[in-house]
Every structure is written in C-alpha cells, then in structure tokens.
C-alpha cells in the first residue's frame, strides 16, 4: 500500500510480492524441473534493480538435483541504490508463498556501480557456470572483481 514516488511499483515488481506468487511459482517449477530432469544448470540473468546479487534457488522436496541460480547486475543508466539498501536485498531463507522453496544468497552489493559477466564451460559432457561481478575501487578507476562459481569445479 506504500505509495512514495515509484516505491509502490518497485515493490510490486518483486518476485516476493504476493500478486506475483502464482506466475513466479510456475516459472520456478519449470526451471527447477528442467534442471533436475536434464541434469543441467539453469541461470536466470536479471537487472535494473540497482544492485547486484547472486542466489541459489532450490526446492529439495520436488527437485532435489536441480541447480538453479539467479544473477543480477545493476542498471548502467541509473545510479545504484545506496549501500544501506543492501539490508533490503533478500537474505537467505524460505521463498514466501512457494512450498519447499529456498533461496541462498551467495552475494549482494548495493551503492556501487557494477556489472556482471557470465562464464560458461561446456567440456567433457558437463557444464559449469560462474559469474564475475565488477565494481570500482580506489581513486584511479581500478575494478574489483568477485567470481562466484555457480556449478562445476
């Protein structure tokens, strides 16, 4: 019910908003089922949320072998959310409104311009995926890099 500027729209955009649960759950089931049955990783890439984050998504009851991840990079065209906004980024825990669903936060960053690159390796009949997150550090424009392995060795 909050309507301060565009906050209402931002809150309704989120996967966690109850108006999105039905469609979100269908999408989660489809991704988790595909990964579970095909034995392949699934990575959702998203953006325009003014922060960077990486999550491992699970439903151990229905799809115990699934490897599903969500990797988000901030929008390039707008200033990222303040560093304090990191407290508002979803933490590890149950996915509200999704029976058996669980999200593990592997990384979160706000208040820094950032971008993300996806790395894949398809060798020996297996797939591995990692993401590299970059953000500025220091006064000379150096980049800081954080690699997060999503699957594989």
CA–CA dist 42, 58 (Å, integer): 11
Grade residue 3 by pLDDT with cuts at 50, 70 and 90: very low
CA–CA dist 118, 71 (Å, integer): 9
2-16, 50-64, 108-122, range with greatest mean pLDDT: 50-64
Counting residues of the chain whose pLDDT is more than 70, the rounded percentage is 75
The pLDDT of residue 36? 96
The pLDDT of residue 143? 86
The single residue listed with the structure tokens 């707008």 is 78
The pLDDT of residue 48? 66
CA atoms within 13 A on the CB side of 88: 14
Phi, psi dihedral angles at 129 (to 5 degrees): -135, 135
Regarding predicted confidence, which is higher, 13 or 40?
40
Task: Tell me the per-residue pLDDT of 129-140, one tens digit each, with 9 for 90 and over.
Answer: 899 988 888 777
Task: Tell me the per-residue pLDDT of 60-114, one tens digit each, with 9 for 90 and over.
Answer: 999 999 999 999 887 666 665 665 555 556 678 898 889 999 999 898 887 677 8
Domain boundaries, the chain: 7-149
pTM score, two decimals?
Answer: 0.79
Nearest 5 degrees, angle CA 64-CA 70-CA 71? 145
The pLDDT of residue 38? 93
- The secondary structure of residue 3, as a DSSP letter, is -
């Amino acid at each position: 019910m909050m309507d301060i500027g565009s906050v209402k729209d931002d809150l309704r955009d989120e996967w966690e908003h109850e108006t999105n649960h039905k469609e979100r759950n269908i999408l989660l089931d489809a991704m988790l089922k595909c990964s579970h049955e095909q034995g392949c990783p699934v990575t959702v890439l998203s953006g325009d949320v003014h922060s960077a984050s990486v999550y491992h998504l699970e439903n151990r009851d229905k799809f115990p072998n699934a490897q599903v991840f969500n990797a988000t990079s901030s929008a390039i065209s707008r200033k990222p959310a303040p560093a304090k906004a990191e407290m508002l980024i979803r933490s590890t825990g149950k996915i509200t409104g999704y029976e058996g669903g669980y999200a593990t936060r592997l990384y979160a960053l706000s208040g820094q311009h950032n971008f993300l690159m996806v790395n894949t390796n398809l060798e020996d009949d297996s797939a591995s995926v990692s993401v590299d997150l970059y953000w500025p550090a220091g006064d000379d424009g150096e980049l800081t890099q954080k690699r997060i392995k999503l699957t594989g060795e």
